[in-house]
Amino acid sequence: MSLPSNTEGKMNATSLIQPNSAVTVDYDSSVASTSTVNGPFIELLASTNCWVTFGAAPVAVAKAADSFYLAANVVRRFRFATGYKIAAIKAASAGFLNIISGD
């Protein structure tokens, strides 16, 4: 059985949540953060490898205890506290983080 793919040969991402909103954040060597994101669930997809953290006033730092590594083109899903923000910083190359929030 083969998996469906797009024209670039990457597997299509299928959302498992009912989207309420979507935000895109550009990140580089300086930390980029969102305004408040409402959950209760979010999906993250980064264009390049990056470091991400959540919180009331998050600051993403590479390899820090409160940041996690997010590989490029991999969808990650999280239960998310309403009112928190998301911050990201590049691992090697600048990129963008696509954030979908929903139920």
What is residue 1's predicted lDDT score, i.e. its pLDDT? 33
What is residue 11's predicted lDDT score, i.e. its pLDDT? 40
Contacts of residue 3, defined as CB under 8 A and 6 or more positions apart, other chains included, come to 11
Contact, 79 vs 43, CB < 8 A?
A: no
Query: pLDDT per residue over 86-103, tens digit each?
Result: 999 999 999 999 999 988
What is residue 15's predicted lDDT score, i.e. its pLDDT? 61
Query: pLDDT per residue over 6-61, tens digit each?
Result: 333 344 455 666 778 888 999 998 888 888 888 889 999 999 999 999 999 999 99
What is residue 9's predicted lDDT score, i.e. its pLDDT? 37
Side chain identity at 8, as an amino acid letter?
A: E
Contact, 76 vs 88, CB < 8 A?
A: no
